[in-house]
Amino acid sequence: NAGVTQTPKFRVLKTGQSMTLLCAQDMNHEYMYWYRQDPGMGLRLIHYSVGEGTTAKGEVPDGYNVSRLKKQNFLLGLESAAPSQTSVYFCASRTPTRRGEKLFFGSGTQLSVL
């Protein structure tokens, strides 16, 4: 059972380039999330989805777009990368079956924008 899988694990971009981060989960979870982690800033929510075909903005959505075309996949896109988007990105998922249900995280994508 793979859980939450993120690809790629590392990526270096030049300013202005675009890329897509892929998150896949095999736990049949309804909810999926994209977080970024920066030194001294903790985990900040970028976008999330409560079901296939739905997305919503989180705390820091600017410069990112997302899509949830299939229940098991959640894509995070950067249309024009900026150095401020250098960060570690984590995808997470969970079931909404009860209150306070825990998130399962992927192992992260280290992105550097030069």
Partner 1 sequence: DQQVKQNSPSLSVQEGRISILNCDYTNSMFDYFLWYKKYPAEGPTFLISISSIKDKNEDGRFTVFLNKSAKHLSLHIVPSQPGDSAVYFCAASDKGGSEKLVFGKGTKLTVNP
Angle at 52 between CA 61 and CA 16, to 5 degrees: 35
Residue 58 or 63: the one with the smaller Cβ distance to partner 1 is 58
Interface residues with partner 1 (CB under 8 A) are: 4, 31, 33, 35, 40-45, 48, 50, 58, 90, 92, 96, 99-100, 102-108
Can you tell me which residue has the tokens 């270096």? 12
Kindly tell me which of 18 and 95 has the beta carbon lying closer to partner 1: 95
Taking alpha carbons only, the member of 77, 108, 102, 94 closest to residue 30 is: 94
Q: Which is nearer to partner 1, 14 or 102 (CB)?
A: 102
Contacts of 23 (CB under 8 A, 6+ apart): 4, 5, 6, 32, 34, 73, 74, 75, 76, 91, 93, 106
Smallest distance from partner 1 to CB 18, Å: 25
Q: How far is the CB of 2 from partner 1 (least distance, A)?
A: 13
- Cβ proximity to partner 1: between 73 and 105 the closer is 105
Closest approach, Cβ 104 to partner 1, in A, equals: 8
Rounded to a whole number of angstroms, the minimum distance from the CB of residue 16 to partner 1 is 28
Q: What is the phi/psi pair of residue 96, to 5°? A: -90, 15
